[in-house]
């Protein structure tokens, strides 16, 4: 996480106020890819990912995922989606809504783990 | 933990003997959201006194105090409204008033407590003595930014429809004034401590919208219309919060949405006076009660850091990392200390706001919001 913080500090100077711009965005994406590929080498950490889901996704979707500003994410609500669709939503967000793309912060493998966890909390 | 245990022992002894009256003016409650409990803390002793359990799902919970600083009304995400007696350290009453709530407010006379709900969308108003329903105000929208305003009024805003409503309870039955065209997807709002200016932040378009509640017919006032997430959308990993701690001298300080900066606007004209670049996406930008400093925390994944900004120079004068997941800050009434909840360290950390020295850590289970009873006497808190 320390390395990620360092990279984001780098972004701050690369992307001037207001404009942000493609350069800054691209820099972020590249930098984060470098950072996440380092993480991806490690095994997925289910406890850290569960914490992310409940605490950080929970900011909008509720700690128990029953919904808030964002919709209900409980398994019974999501069961008509497949894991691939959910993984895509997690990674790329939904345009024109408050759902942000998480690709800058987590790896595709982590997003897929989260999608499966949402659909089958017990199995993970 | 030692303090908590000692506190609990002391509590048991005290309640058994009924020896001492309990002064509540320097007490506070800390939300322990996963555990569904609140931790009663003593600001002067910098100690935890007792844990009160059984409050349900407290994610994103907040609370307000009765004017006598004895009762706290805790608003839980699961729609629970719990009245906590901090003198007897027990739950005095509890109702589950909706499926999904987001916050609340208490009327200036202390007789009404209002809760804003996501599902079903609207505001419900309860008698503070009995928690009996006094008024149900459906809005057909997720309802945010609920505050109290002078004159037995509540003001709140709709995420979906972009309207702000003023509910006036002077005559008992609420009289509703609807203000349309506040902007697209307002995410939170604040009212200034004097009860005059209501400001709502917009997620769906650039800028913020203000209302002058001293006007006979308040009209939306666009603030920073060219500013916001910008044409190129910035991902927002946690919605910023707008709280009544916004006034610094002659300016209001507000967190930007998505951008790594805080915004300064003139309190009279609502025109931008400056921006300060910050470490990450700000969540809270809170003015110390005297307004001289602004303390800022940040969204995931930079939420281990706090920056302190001098409100005269608008420069960052101090930066430190209290620990993982800094969720909330609460100043003592006169601002000499700040209490900070560090969720993933399971600590509340207490700092001197002049020297920035850490004074004490208190154990708490995944702490989030911290609320001192001094809020009882401030509009909008």
Task: Give average pLDDT by consecutive 10-residue segment, chain B, 381 residues.
Answer: 56 56 95 93 97 90 97 93 97 91 94 94 97 97 96 97 97 95 94 94 91 96 78 78 87 92 94 95 95 96 96 97 96 97 96 98 96 96 91
Percent of chain A with pLDDT over 90: 44
Residues A57, A102, single domain; the answer is: yes
Beta carbons of B77 and A62 less than 8 Å apart:
yes
Residues A58, A118, single domain; the answer is: yes
Question: What pLDDT score does A40 carry?
Answer: 46
Domain that holds residue A30: 1-42
Domain that holds residue B106: 97-238
Residues A75, A108, single domain; the answer is: yes
Residues A35, A96, single domain; the answer is: no
A105 touches chain B (CB under 8 A): yes
Question: What pLDDT score does B20 carry?
Answer: 79
Strands B80-85 and B112-119: unpaired
Other beta carbons within 10 angstroms of residue B15's beta carbon come to: 15
Beta carbons of B302 and A98 less than 8 Å apart:
no
Residues A74, A113, single domain; the answer is: yes
Rg (CA), chain B: 20
Q: Which of B285, B346, B281 is nearest to B33 (CA)?
A: B346
For residue B344, the chain A residues in CB contact (below 8 A) are 51
Of A1, A19, A63, the CB nearest to B33: A63
- Residue to test with chain A: of B37, B58, B59, B226, most A Cβ within 10 A: B59
**Max Cα separation, chain B?**
65
What gap in Å lies between CA B330 and CA B220, rounded to an integer?
Answer: 30
Beta carbons of B232 and A17 less than 8 Å apart:
no
Say if B141 falls within a structural domain: yes
Say if B205 falls within a structural domain: yes
Please provide the average confidence, as pLDDT, over all residues in chain A: 74
Rg (CA), chain A: 15
| CATH number of the domain that residue A81 is part of | 1.10.760.10
Strands B316-320 and B90-96: unpaired
Count of the separate structural domains present in chain A: 2
Percent of chain A with pLDDT over 70: 65
- State CA B6 to chain mean position distance: 30
Residue count (chain A)? 124
Å between B23 CA and nearest CA of chain A: 34
Residues B338 and B295 sit within 8 Å (Cβ to Cβ) = yes
Residues A25, A81, single domain; the answer is: no
Residues A37, A49, single domain; the answer is: no
Minimum CA–CA partner of A4 in chain B:
B301
- pLDDT band for position A33 (50/70/90)? very low
- pLDDT band for position A12 (50/70/90)? very low
B60 touches chain A (CB under 8 A): yes
Asked if the ipTM is above 0.90, the reply is no
Å between B308 CA and nearest CA of chain A: 17
Residues B294 and B264 sit within 8 Å (Cβ to Cβ) = no
Alpha carbon dihedral B375, B378, B380, B381, in 10-degree steps, equals: 0
Residues B305 and B280 sit within 8 Å (Cβ to Cβ) = yes
Say if B166 falls within a structural domain: yes
Q: Per residue in A38-76, pLDDT tens?
A: 444 457 899 999 989 988 898 889 888 988 889 999 999
Residues A117, A71, single domain; the answer is: yes
Of B59, B227, B344, the CB nearest to A63: B59
């Amino acid at each position: 996480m320390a390395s990620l913080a360092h990279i984001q500090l780098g972004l701050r100077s690369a992307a001037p106020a207001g404009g942000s711009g493609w350069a800054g965005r691209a820099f972020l994406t590249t930098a984060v890819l470098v950072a996440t590929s380092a993480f991806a080498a490690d095994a997925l950490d289910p406890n850290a990912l569960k914490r992310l889901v409940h605490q950080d996704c929970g900011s909008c979707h509720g700690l128990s995922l029953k919904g808030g500003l964002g919709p209900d994410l409980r398994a019974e609500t999501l069961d008509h989606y497949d894991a691939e669709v959910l993984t895509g939503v997690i990674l790329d967000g939904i345009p024109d809504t408050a759902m942000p793309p998480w690709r800058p912060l987590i790896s595709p493998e982590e997003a897929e783990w989260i999608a499966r966890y949402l659909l089958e909390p017990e199995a993970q | 933990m030692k303090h908590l245990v000692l506190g609990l022992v002391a509590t048991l002894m005290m309640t058994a003997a009924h020896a001492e009256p309990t002064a509540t003016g320097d007490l506070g409650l800390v939300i322990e959201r996963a555990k569904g409990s609140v931790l009663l803390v003593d600001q002067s002793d910098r100690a935890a006194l007792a844990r009160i359990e059984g409050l349900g799902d407290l994610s994103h919970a907040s609370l307000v105090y009765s004017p006598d600083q004895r009762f706290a009304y805790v608003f839980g995400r699961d729609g629970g409204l719990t009245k906590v007696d901090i003198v007897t350290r027990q739950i005095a009453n509890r109702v589950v008033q909706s499926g999904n709530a987001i916050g609340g407010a208490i009327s200036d006379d202390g007789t009404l407590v209002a809760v804003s709900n996501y599902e079903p969308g609207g505001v419900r108003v309860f008698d503070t003595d009995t928690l009996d329903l006094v008024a149900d105000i459906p809005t057909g929208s997720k309802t945010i930014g609920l505050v109290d305003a002078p004159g037995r009024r509540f003001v709140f805003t709709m995420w979906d429809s972009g309207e702000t409503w003023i509910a006036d309870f002077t005559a008992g039955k609420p009289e509703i004034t609807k203000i349309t065209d506040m902007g697209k997807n307002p995410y939170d709002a604040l009212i200034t401590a004097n009860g005059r200016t209501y400001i709502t932040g917009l997620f769906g378009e650039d800028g913020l919208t203000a209302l002058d509640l001293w006007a006979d017919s308040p009209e939306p006032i666009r603030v920073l219309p060219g500013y916001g997430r910008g044409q190129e959308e910035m991902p927002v990993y946690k919605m910023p919060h707008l709280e009544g701690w916004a006034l610094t001298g002659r300016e209001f300080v507000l967190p930007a949405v998505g951008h790594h900066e805080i915004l300064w606007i003139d309190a009279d004209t609502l025109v931008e006076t400056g921006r300060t670049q910050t470490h990450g996406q700000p969540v809270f930008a809170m003015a110390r009660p005297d307004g001289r400093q602004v303390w800022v925390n940040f969204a995931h994944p930079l939420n281990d850091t706090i920056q302190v900004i001098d409100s005269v120079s608008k420069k960052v004068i101090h930066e430190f990392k209290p620990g993982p997941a800094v969720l909330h800050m609460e100043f003592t009434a006169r601002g000499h200390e700040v209490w900070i909840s560090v969720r993933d360290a399971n600590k509340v950390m207490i700092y001197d706001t002049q020297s920035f020295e850490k004074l004490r850590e208190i154990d708490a289970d995944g702490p989030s919001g911290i609320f001192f009873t001094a809020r009882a006497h401030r509009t909008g808190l």
